[in-house]
Amino acid sequence: MSEKAVFDADITLLKDKVVSIIGYGNQGRAQGHILRENGIDVIIGNIRDEYWDQAVKDGFKVYEIDDAIRRSQVALLLVPDEVAPDVYYKKIEPEVRKKEHFVLDFASGYNIMYGFIKPQPNTDVILVAPRMIGRGILNLHKQKRGYPVLLGVAQDSSGKAWDYAKAIAKGIGAIGLPGGIAIKSSFEEETLLDLLTEHSWAPLLIAAMQAYFDVVTEEYGVSPEAAILELYASGELSDIAKAMAEIGLFEQMKFHSRTSQYGQFTRARKFYNRVKEIVREEAARIWSGEFAREWSLDQAFGRVVLQRLWKIMTSSKLAKAEDRLYRQLGRR
């Protein structure tokens, strides 16, 4: 195992601090609960909406975001990446400027990598990025199990930034428990890995499913129901994904028939070079900031492209057939 893997850490550094969770959403709720269970003094900073009410119901002290920053020495910034710069400059930075020292933790590398947020020199800027959705984190926590996180340090003002990152990883239940692992990484690496999934194999899977559906229904007379059940509605795909996580990509292959193994391996080899070219191109667009500029532009124009694509995708033959099938199956 590389020396980048961390399995446990000391949480003492957080014990005499107030830790604010800024944004009580998917990640905020999960991370806040576990930190509190681990004996940390946690407060919530949120806008006044249903998440605020939820946090109060869950027994937390909830404050306006600037007030929560004022009251804390460590903050976990867990609002969506696209609103984080606005929240940071309007609510967080004015308070941090008044402090001697502050620790600001991110769950994603995006805003720091591209300079959308440039923290003050008195701030430790750290990354503790779960590779898991909030609900998954809470489920594992109930089973007393950890989960994977990537760690990073962009600015070490106190000289203890890595220790803070590891302490938070332990505090949010990622490490120190079976199945838990933290990997020393960086804001840039985390962003590349995260976006490259979204720009390569995940959309290739969507495109392949759409093409498969169109070919078998339009050119071979297959019923849309049979095609969608084969593609994903049966749940076989999620079983395979689960087996990949649990026993590995290649070990799970042994559960497939020999015909399937032969077909999958030969075609994987055949497609590899073309796909590698796509992956390489997309990685370069992420690394250079070209994608961040493209997405910022769409956000500045009211997300026109994203909204159009939702319309186009959900009016496709596949989406309509899926809606019919899922109604018949009582899933909708």
Positions touching ligand NDP (CB under 6 A) are: 23-28, 46-47, 49, 51, 78-81, 83, 87, 107-108, 129-130, 133-134
CB of 64 or CB of 214, closer to ligand NDP? 64
Measure Cα distances from 58 to 24, 29, 30 in Å.
11, 9, 11
Give me the torsion for CA of 137, 142, 143, 149, rounded to 10°: 20
Q: How far is the CB of 23 from ligand NDP (least distance, A)?
A: 3
CB of 12 to ligand NDP, least distance (A): 25
Using CA of residue 97, residue 99, residue 100, residue 102, what is the dihedral sign?
negative
Distance between CA 110 and CA 116 in Å, rounded?
8
Least distance in angstroms from the C-beta of 79 to ligand NDP: 4
Query: Please, which residue, 46 or 217, has the CB nearer to ligand NDP?
Result: 46
Tell me the residue nearest to ligand NDP as measured from the CB.
Answer: 25
Question: Judged by CB, which is closer to ligand NDP: 24, or 291?
Answer: 24
Rounded CA-CA distance 104/108 in Å is 12
Least Cβ distance, residue 323 to ligand NDP (angstroms): 25
Closest distance of CB 329 from ligand NDP, Å: 26
Nearer to ligand NDP, 27 or 217 (CB): 27
- CB-based contact 124:153 (threshold 8 Å): yes
Cα distance between residue 20 and residue 62, in whole Å: 9
CB of 48 to ligand NDP, least distance (A): 9
Nearer to ligand NDP, 130 or 180 (CB): 130
- Residue 123, token pair as written in the block: 């701030």
CA distances from 216 to 52, 168, 188, 201, 210 (A): 48, 50, 41, 22, 10
Choice between 23 and 180, CB closer to ligand NDP: 23
Residue 35 and residue 15: Cα distance in Å, rounded? 10
In the bound state with ligand NDP, the residue whose beta carbon lies nearer, of 103 and 228, is 103
Q: Which is nearer to ligand NDP, 51 or 212 (CB)?
A: 51
Distance CA 190, CA 177 (A): 23
* Residue number, 80 or 94, with CB nearest to ligand NDP: 80
258-288 vs 290-300: helix crossing angle, rounded to 10: 80
Which residue stretches of 106-223 are H helix? 110-113, 134-142, 161-171, 187-199, 201-219
Assess contact for 234 and 325: CB atoms under 8 A: no
Q: Which amino acid is at 188?
A: E
| Distance of alpha carbon 286 from alpha carbon 232, whole angstroms | 29
Q: How far is the CB of 198 from ligand NDP (least distance, A)?
A: 11
C-alpha–C-alpha distance, residues 246 and 259, integer Å: 23
CB of 245 to ligand NDP, least distance (A): 16
Q: CB of 53: closest distance to ligand NDP in angstroms? A: 10
Residue appearing with tokens 């995006």:
110
